[in-house]
Structure 1
Amino acid sequence: MRFRHRRVAAAAALATAAVVGLPACSAVLDGEESLVDADSLVVGVKADQPGLGLEAENGGFEGFDVDVALYIADRLGIPGENVEFVGVTSAEREEKLLNGEVDMVVATYSITPGRKTQVTFGGPYYVAKQDVLVRAEDTDIQGVRDLDGMSVCQGAGSNSAARITEGLGIPVERVEGETYSDCIAQLRDGRVDAVSTDNLILAGFLAEDPGAFRFVNNPFTDEKYGVGLPYGDIEACEAVNKAISRMYQEGEATEMLDRWFGNTDLEMVHSVPQFEGCD
């Protein structure tokens, strides 16, 4: 069964639950089967982030997030040929889960309290840290506080710049690009002074063009990458967490990380992340 065709009813149930004050998870899952019963999946991944989720010339997708999704699907008993990948932006991840266009999202999807009101998260499958990427020649920027008064680009739907201005109280000019590829293009041609987001995202762009940019390498937040699942699918969440644990214990996670980021100076984490819980 391909679950995206069943999620529209689930999304409607979620909306009804919000209006009448019912528990959302029971409203969504009454009469609905868990993703653990699926024989195929549609997974949302990024399409423009090198090393994480990138659409190749042949129309396929590649990157760490894609590898993680395939590993999880395999542990759920779903072969790779039954996994369909579609590109999603940061701004549309919740929408595509809620309206049933995708069954799962593995797209540098940070777990936050606000998002947990609409999405059940497995994981995290990796804990990244927010850092800063600048042009290679901009040696005066050695830490996030050196961005005071400068322009910083973030992708649409991201909270990265807000963590600098509101979280750390550092006044920067916040510029929003359509995607992080757009931000990197603006950094390359001098329209912005820096791009700040999760270090795995930045490492992917750095690996693609190492001579043009450099890491500030002074991280200042933890970003817990979760596997986005339909709200209330606790059984799938628990199965995903078991798969992630095994992925690290068997060394698969280390191989994936080295494959995509081993030629950068990123300090990677190779131990099982502390899970958020599925309730």
Structure 2
Amino acid sequence: MRLRKASALAAGVLALSLAATACGGGGDDDTISVGIKYDQPGLGLKTPDGDFVGFDVDVATYIAGELGYEPDQIDFVESPSGDRETMLDRGDVDFIVASYSITDERKEQVDFAGPYFVAHQDLLIRDGETVPNEEGIADLTLCSVGGSTSAANLAEQYPGAGLEELGTYSECLTGLENGTVDALTTDDSILAGYAAQEQNQGKFALAGLSLSDEYYGVGVPKGETERRDDINAAITKMVEDGDWQAAVDEHFGPANYEVEPAPEITETS
């Protein structure tokens, strides 16, 4: 009688274990969840018909392919700047490719692969207007996204400048267009994408400043070193086979934005 009870208990434990395995790990083993931006033209944009386009999307798709996933097995998840660390920690996504600048502060919470791209913080202003020099920034009302390195850099370097922190760069762009802010500040890659959009051509221009160096990395949950190494290998292959440059030409060429060569991978430990 005791043996039968023990066998039944073991069977129950095994069933629960199998169920937990099937439900755990952030979802179906046949798909992979990747965090991207939904509102950054040129980098990560969700189109009205539900497609995803941009340089980061191409990088993410290439990486997922090297990890064994077809494009239709990728679940793209919107990853706002202020939520990225939390999303990785909770297991909402497997990795994030979303203009995610590598910083020491962020590396305390997540690990990075890469970098795969280098950008520089600049200002987007109304076409025909100018910013005389960096000192003139302190006299401007600027807009950026809360939780972004751009907002943090500005607050540190120009504490006297007026800064509005909104949820998306698209909201900042609306403020720039209607005159409630003087400039949108973030990475020049993002600004170039907005300026190149058909509906924005002739309205905005980059100020041509270089306020910081931003090395974009692929965020992975803390401690997932094997996943990081696999992604580093995928980035290296993407650069070597020419797909990286092809993606650069496709998404940044129309904006006449001069992209630096692919940076050396540094996030290896």
TM-score w.r.t. structure 2 length?
Answer: 0.86
Using a 3 Å threshold, how does the CA distance of structure 1 residues 244 and 146 change in structure 2: closer, same or farther? same
Taking only aligned residues, the RMSD between alpha carbons, in angstroms, comes to: 2.0
Corresponding residue SS for 1:185: helix
Residue 216 of structure 1 corresponds to 207
CA contact (8 A) 1:43 1:86 kept: yes
Residue 52 of structure 1 corresponds to 43
Letter in 2 for 1:114: E
CA contact (8 A) 2:122 2:208 kept: yes
Q: Does residue 1:146 correspond to 2:165, yes or no?
A: no
Q: Does residue 1:156 correspond to 2:146, yes or no?
A: yes
Say which of 72, 93, 106 aligns to 2:63. Answer: 72
Distance 2:22 2:190 in 1: 29
Residue 24 of structure 2 corresponds to 5
Distance 2:250 2:47 in 1: 17
Instruction: Quote the sequence identity (%).
Output: 41
How much does 1:136 deviate?
0.4
Distance 1:247 1:277 in 2: 17
CA contact (8 A) 2:101 2:149 kept: no
Using a 3 Å threshold, how does the CA distance of structure 1 residues 197 and 4 change in structure 2: closer, same or farther? farther
Q: Does residue 1:197 correspond to 2:186, yes or no?
A: yes
Q: What does the per-residue CA deviation read over 1:35-88, in whole Å, with 9 as the maximum and x for residues that have no partner?
A: xxx653100110111111111122221111110000011111211111110112
Deviation beyond 3 Å, 4+ runs, structure 1: 2-5
Q: Does residue 1:278 correspond to 2:268, yes or no?
A: yes
CA contact (8 A) 1:121 1:226 kept: yes
Using a 3 Å threshold, how does the CA distance of structure 1 residues 71 and 123 change in structure 2: closer, same or farther? same
CA contact (8 A) 2:115 2:267 kept: no
Gaps of 5+ in 1: 9-37
CA contact (8 A) 1:152 1:161 kept: no
1:166-177 paired onto structure 2 within 5 Å: 166=156, 168-169=157-158, 171-177=160-166
Distance 1:142 1:243 in 2: 42
Distance 2:171 2:213 in 1: 24
Letter in 2 for 1:152: L
CA contact (8 A) 2:35 2:95 kept: yes
**Larger mean Cα displacement after TM superposition, 245-254 or 182-191:** 245-254
How much does 1:267 deviate?
1.3
Q: Does residue 1:105 correspond to 2:96, yes or no?
A: yes
